[in-house]
Structure 1
Amino acid sequence: MKIDGMRAFVAAAEAGSISEAARRMRLSKSVLSERLAELERSLGTKLLQRTTRKLALTEDGSAFHERAASILREIDDAAADLAERRGTLIGPLRISAPVTFGRMHLGPALYPFLIKHPQISLTLDLDDRRVDAAADGYDAVLRHGEVDDSRLVVWRLAPSRRRLVASPGYLARRKAPRTIGDLEQHEGLFYANRGIADWRFKTGANAVIARARARLHVNNGDLLRDAAIAGLGIALLPMFLAGSAIKSKKLRVIEIGVQPDEEFVYIAHPEGRRASAKLRALADHLRTAFGTPPYWETDV
């Protein structure tokens, strides 16, 4: 049994398709398919059932997948441990991160890390949807907000303050809100991936929900900020996104006497997996690069 065949099988099982598995492994579909076929021949059983929409694991495939994935992690960890004993960080690292934060802050922080550790091969997927770190084959996910998956081990990288903002033009047309109740009379711009059309604040130990008339739902931070700058309404934005627009006076902060729920930029890896030295090193590097408080808040 070849290790390459096991890797192809685990990638296909986690991706749900030959095409996606081939993309993740940077192989042609034909090469990956041949490796799968060779593995099935060596085991004498069918591991994957191809349907019109996606791949499905057979009963034998389900039984083999967990053991194969564990074996591959052990092999990778063993190789990484040997490299780390020599003071080298080596091997693949696959991470998911939000589009806007990745473009604005994560990318510039990553480049020095990769230059310092040239034997790390990083795959960075920028996607605003909430991925399943374990099922989608990620070593870790980087996110902003609250942690809502108990299967993840979370490391905080930086606090993330959020502020209510609107353009000077919008506030010139409409009386600026002064209380939570005033927000109900305003146009609201909401981040669609949170799945709710309200804003949550804290007064002491109590949570308070504020609502506005939903003018726009969008699943991208850049567009949400730009809609606020264009004067469409009020948005609750993290400072890593709104800071430069506030500094340039394209957006104004709205004070209503309460603060939004506390949130963080964090990196998280699947529970039950030992975090690799390269992932721990990356987390330490990002904490230093972002700073405490993070640089995107001290510049305003």
Structure 2
Amino acid sequence: MKLDGIAAFVAIAEAGSISEAARRLRLAKSVVSDRLAQLERQLGARLVHRSTRRLTLTEDGLIFLELASQSLRGIEAAAATLAERRGTLSGPLRLSAPVTLTALHIGPALYPFLRSHPQIDLSIELDDRVVDAQAEGYDGVIRHGPMRDSRLMAWKLARSRRLLVASSEYLEQHGTPRNLDELEQHRGIFYSHRGIADWRFETAGRAVQVRGKAGLQVNNGVVMRDAAVAGLGVTLLPLFIAGPQIRDGTLRVIDVGAEPEAEFIYVAHPEGRHPSAKLRALADCLREAFGDPPYWEAGL
């Protein structure tokens, strides 16, 4: 029984399709399909129900998947351990990370790391949605926000302060809110994956949620920032996005007498899956590059 056939089957089960499994494995779809067929012949059992609309596992497939996944993780861990004993970080590492944070800060921090460890095969999927690390086969996910997902084991990389900001033009036309009640009357620019419930503050030891008037909802922080600069409303932005505009006065910070809910940048891995030395080293690299407090807060 060949290991690449087992790896193909596990990838198909996690991806939900042969096409997606082939993309993740960087193989032709026909190769992955052939490996699955060969594995089924060797086992004498049908592992997958194929149809034109969807792919599901048979009862035998479900049983085999659990043991096959454990075996693959064990082999990967053993290979990683031997590499670590030789002082080498090598092999595949698959991550999911936010688009804007990666473009502005994660990417520049990782390039020296990858030059120092050329045997690491790093794959980063940029996506602003909250992904399911376990189901989608990621070794780790980098996220920005409050740490709430109990299915993930997380390591903090940096704190992430968010501030209410708006342009001088908007505030001159509509007034500057001085408290949370007044903030509710203002047009908001919101991150669409969180919606208008995103304005969460902590005051007098309790959490308060403010719902402003939705002026714009978009799933990209840079667009939110640029919309605020254009005078379209008030927005709550992390300093890693809005820091330069606050420094040069393009955006003004609004004090409503309450602190935004604490958020962090963190890397997380599925619970029960042993994190590799590669993931730990990458997290250490990012933590050191960002600093404490993070460099994007300098001068603010």
Greater displacement, 238-247 / 285-294: 238-247
Separation of aligned partners in 2, 1:50 and 1:183: 54
Mapped pair 1:291 → 2:287? no
Greater displacement, 266-275 / 242-251: 242-251
Structure 2 residue aligned with 1:273: 273
Q: How far off its partner does 1:170 sit?
A: 1.0
**Which letter maps to 2:291?**
G
Aligned residues of 1:243 and 1:299 also touching (Cα < 8 A): no
**Which letter maps to 1:49?**
H
Separation of aligned partners in 1, 2:93 and 2:293: 27
Mapped pair 1:107 → 2:125? no
Separation of aligned partners in 2, 1:175 and 1:100: 30
Separation of aligned partners in 1, 2:53 and 2:147: 31
Mapped pair 1:172 → 2:172? yes
Separation of aligned partners in 1, 2:204 and 2:40: 60
Matches within 5 A, 1:80-119: 80-119=80-119
- Deviation per residue, 1:12-37 (Å, 9 max, x gap): 11111111111111101111111111
In the superposition, relative to structure 1, how do residues 72 and 276 fare at CA in structure 2: closer, same or farther (>3 Å)?
same
**Which letter maps to 1:211?**
R
Q: How far off its partner does 1:115 sit?
A: 0.6
Matches within 5 A, 1:16-31: 16-31=16-31
Q: How far off its partner does 1:249 sit?
A: 2.1
**Which letter maps to 1:205?**
G
Greater displacement, 164-173 / 88-97: 164-173
Separation of aligned partners in 2, 1:77 and 1:31: 25
Structure 2 residue aligned with 1:244: 244
Matches within 5 A, 1:1-300: 1-300=1-300
**Which letter maps to 2:54?**
K
Aligned residues of 2:99 and 2:126 also touching (Cα < 8 A): yes
- Structure 1 vs Structure 2: percent identity of aligned residues? 64
Separation of aligned partners in 2, 1:195 and 1:48: 39
Q: Report SS of the residue matched to 2:172.
A: helix
Q: Report SS of the residue matched to 1:131.
A: coil
Q: Report SS of the residue matched to 1:292.
A: coil
Deviating beyond 6 angstroms after TM superposition, the runs of 4 or more aligned structure 1 residues are: none
- Deviation per residue, 1:223-273 (Å, 9 max, x gap): 111211111100001111111121232211111111101110000001111
Separation of aligned partners in 2, 1:260 and 1:26: 42
TM-score normalised per structure 2: 0.97
Q: Report SS of the residue matched to 1:193.
A: coil
Q: Report SS of the residue matched to 1:185.
A: coil
Runs of 5+ consecutive residues of structure 2 not aligned to the other structure: none
Separation of aligned partners in 2, 1:178 and 1:276: 48
Greater displacement, 204-213 / 65-74: 204-213
Q: How far off its partner does 1:72 sit?
A: 0.7
**Which letter maps to 2:253?**
V
Aligned residues of 2:196 and 2:211 also touching (Cα < 8 A): no
Greater displacement, 267-276 / 245-254: 245-254
Separation of aligned partners in 2, 1:187 and 1:53: 44
- Deviation per residue, 1:24-75 (Å, 9 max, x gap): 1110111111111111111111111123333211111111111111111111
Separation of aligned partners in 1, 2:149 and 2:57: 25
Separation of aligned partners in 1, 2:66 and 2:17: 18
Aligned residues of 2:197 and 2:210 also touching (Cα < 8 A): no
TM-score normalised per structure 1: 0.97
Aligned residues: 300
Aligned residues of 1:225 and 1:241 also touching (Cα < 8 A): yes
Separation of aligned partners in 2, 1:85 and 1:17: 36
Q: Report SS of the residue matched to 2:242.
A: helix
Q: Report SS of the residue matched to 1:102.
A: helix
Q: Report SS of the residue matched to 1:130.
A: coil
Taking only aligned residues, the RMSD between alpha carbons, in angstroms, comes to: 1.1
Separation of aligned partners in 1, 2:187 and 2:4: 55
Separation of aligned partners in 1, 2:98 and 2:51: 31
Separation of aligned partners in 2, 1:262 and 1:72: 38
Aligned residues of 2:196 and 2:214 also touching (Cα < 8 A): no
